[in-house]
Homo-oligomer: A and B are copies of this chain.
Amino acid sequence: MNVLILGGDGYLGWPTAMHLTAHGHTVAVVDSYLRRSLCRQENVEPLVDVPNLHQRTALWESIAGHHIPVYIGDLTDWMFVTEVFRRFSPDSIVHYAEQPAAPYSMLNRKAALLTLRNNLETTANIIFAVNQFCPEAQIVKLGTMGEYGTPNIDIEEGWLNVEHKGRQQKFLFPRQAGSLYHTTKIMDTDLLWLYVRMWDLRVTDLMQGPVYGIFTTENRDHEQLYSFLNYDELFGTVLNRFIIQAAAAYPMTVYGKGGQTRGYLNIIDTLNCVRLSLENPAQKGELRIFNQFTETFSVSQLADRVQQVARTLGLAAEIARVDNPRKEAEDHYYKPEHTGLLELGLDPHYLTDDVLAEMIEFALKHKDKIKPEQIYRKIRWNPDGE
């Protein structure tokens, strides 16, 4: 299929591009380099420099023989959107093109408004572009498990049958997020659901948990093809952060009680989930929702796992319990369903000791590049400190 990957420069976008071409699909990538700009502005650059998209696609073509056209521009700009959709006629769109960091979205008003505008207007433009240029095409959209928050009932896969006063109605599972970033993803889902009903779009919305990992089948032997590895509190995700912290002899920053439980997955599984979704498209007029993760851990469990493996490698890997800069439940019920992608054929890559050890060894190899002052600045969820 002809897959247009929006946000193709990102932590997931670039590995997805390689993965889909390796599986026989034709791919083009679009990005505005927004994440790179924000990381530079906030002085939270990734561990290892990452070549730009033109450089990475050239390298991938020289290695694997797959050509990937690159479009650099801003998807909130309709003229750019129409140019991309006219030049590359997609039958499938993978939409990662969002400001992806919850802590960044809570940093201050400017960051909040940037997140709101970028994420919502990009999603809206994509909906209008598909309706105008390729109404039969499918959209595979990256959502987040964070849309659900941590309710006291089981989290079903996207939908909930509610029985109330003797009557029944199927609803989108009620959503209640803990950051503006996650709230924009709720809004995306609302927007997609509106236009699926109004215009018979074909949409898969992937409620993904935090992703960890560096290595994929495609990039394994080529460090120049690795994704961004952020270890700061704005753009770094928890497990990747703990691994860098362990390598840097920086006590792992467990927020509050550490009971915050989420569904996690290896980056390899993200690629397979997205590919399986594309290869088994949603129907016209269907908003299909999958919960995309493979196993659940609390923050404390992750820190303990990293500590255990790091100590076999001779590291101290201390754990620090720090005041929670977020406003979130630190001890809660969490039971999310996640059968849809398994039924499509997902073969999970679990968080084994080997997986952890390989990541820690990579971090140790680049230990000299870690900037400890970048790890934790105590940025609070309320910019005015309440």
**Which A residues are within 8 Å of any B CB, using their own CB?**
78, 106, 109, 112-113, 116-117, 120-121, 124-125, 128, 131-132, 151-154, 160, 162-165, 167-169, 171-172, 174-180, 183, 186-187, 190-191, 193-194, 197-200, 327, 333, 381-382, 384, 386
Contact = CB atoms under 8 A, between A and B. Distances in A.
Contacts of A165: 153-154
Given A109-B125, A169-B174, A178-B194, 15 more contacts: A78-B113, A109-B128, A112-B128, A151-B169, A153-B165, A154-B165, A162-B162, A167-B333, A171-B176, A175-B190, A176-B193, A177-B190, A179-B194, A183-B191, A197-B327
Contact of A152 (B160, B167, B198, B199): B167
A121 B128 contact: no
Contacts of A381: 198
Rank and list the top 10 A-B pairs by shortest CB-CB distance, nearest first: A171-B174, A153-B164, A152-B169, A109-B128, A153-B167, A151-B169, A153-B169, A187-B187, A183-B194, A174-B174
Nearest to A174: B171
Given A167-B333, A186-B190, A191-B183, A116 B112 contact: no
A208 B109 CA distance: 29
A168 B153 contact: yes
A113 B124 contact: yes
Contact of A124 (B116, B171, B190, B198): B116
A204 B239 CA distance: 39
Contacts of A109: 78, 124-125, 128
* Chain copies in the assembled complex: 2
8 contacts: A78-B109, A116-B121, A152-B167, A153-B162, A160-B164, A171-B174, A178-B194, A180-B194
A381 B194 CA distance: 12
A208 to B, nearest CB: 19
A382 B199 contact: yes
Given A117-B121, A121-B113, A162-B153, A190 B199 contact: no
A326 to B, nearest CB: 9
A172 B183 CA distance: 14
A162 B151 CA distance: 11
Contact of A112 (B113, B124, B200): B124
A382 B176 CA distance: 30
Contacts of A382: 131, 198-199
A384 B116 contact: no
Nearest to A109: B128
A132 B174 contact: no
Given A121-B116, A121-B117, A174 B194 contact: no
A27 to B, nearest CB: 26
Contacts of A194: 177-180, 183
A120 B131 contact: no
